[in-house]
């Protein structure tokens, strides 16, 4: 396969992956009356507690600042996430997942697990590890280029 065809197929697969993920988590969103973006923010904070600000969510999930802001506000109003200032810095709000979100998180993790089962069906552990290494290299290449 030529590189151009590979790239075209790769990005088509990325769209398919996102569609599958949305299909897997949409029952959770419906059950708990969450938008897809609210679910995304909630699960990001759950899975990545070291990235606990709106700015970090925007940066690492590549989401629109306005969508993240609206979702955070909604999740806070529902008591699903909490915000606090740390270390005397009153400009940055650090977010955390509230205990009230426990059932949503559990359902979200089940949906994410099913998604992974589908995506990695037929792969050995070694193949999954190799794919991870390849993907990490692709990401390093992109970041290196963008930082130049």
Query: Looking at the domain assignment, is residue 131 inside a domain?
Result: no
DSSP per-residue codes, the chain:
--HHHHHHHHHHHHHHHHHHHHHHHHHHHHHTT--HHHHHHHHHHHH-TT--SHHHHHHHHT--HHHHHHHHHHHHHTTSEEEEEETTEEEEEEEEE-GGGHHHHHHHHHHHHHHHHHHTTT--HHHHHHHHHHHHHHHHHHHHHHH-
- Looking up residue 110, the CATH number of its domain turns out to be 1.10.10.10
User: Which residue, chain included where needed, has tokens 């993907």?
Assistant: 135
pTM: 0.85
Number of domains in the chain: 1
Tokens encoding 145: 């280029």
Q: Please give the residue range of the domain that contains residue 44.
A: 3-123
- pLDDT confidence tier of residue 4, bands split at 50, 70 and 90: low
Query: Looking at the domain assignment, is residue 45 inside a domain?
Result: yes
Query: Looking at the domain assignment, is residue 130 inside a domain?
Result: no
Distance CA 126, CA 77 (A): 44
Cα 42-24-73 angle, rounded to 5 deg: 20
pLDDT digits (tens, 9 = 90+) for 46-77: 999 999 999 999 999 989 999 999 999 999 99
Distance CA 78, CA 72 (A): 10
pLDDT digits (tens, 9 = 90+) for 89-146: 778 899 999 999 999 999 999 999 999 999 999 999 999 999 999 989 988 998 899 8
Query: Looking at the domain assignment, is residue 93 inside a domain?
Result: yes
Query: Looking at the domain assignment, is residue 128 inside a domain?
Result: no
Tokens encoding 127: 């193949």
């Amino acid at each position: 396969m030529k590189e151009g065809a590979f790239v075209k197929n790769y990005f088509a697969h990325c769209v398919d992956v996102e569609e599958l993920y949305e299909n897997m988590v949409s029952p959770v969103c419906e059950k708990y009356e969450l938008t897809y973006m609210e679910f995304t923010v909630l699960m990001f904070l759950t899975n990545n507690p070291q990235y606990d600000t709106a700015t970090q969510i925007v940066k690492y999930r590549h989401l629109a600042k306005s969508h993240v802001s609206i979702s955070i506000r909604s999740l806070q109003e529902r008591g699903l996430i909490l915000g606090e200032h740390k270390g005397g810095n009153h400009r940055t709000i650090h977010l955390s997942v509230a205990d009230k979100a426990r059932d949503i998180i559990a359902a979200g993790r089940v949906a994410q697990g099913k998604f992974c089962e589908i995506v990695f069906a037929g792969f050995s552990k070694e193949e999954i590890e190799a794919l991870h290494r390849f993907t990490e290299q692709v990401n390093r290449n992109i970041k290196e280029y963008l930082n130049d």
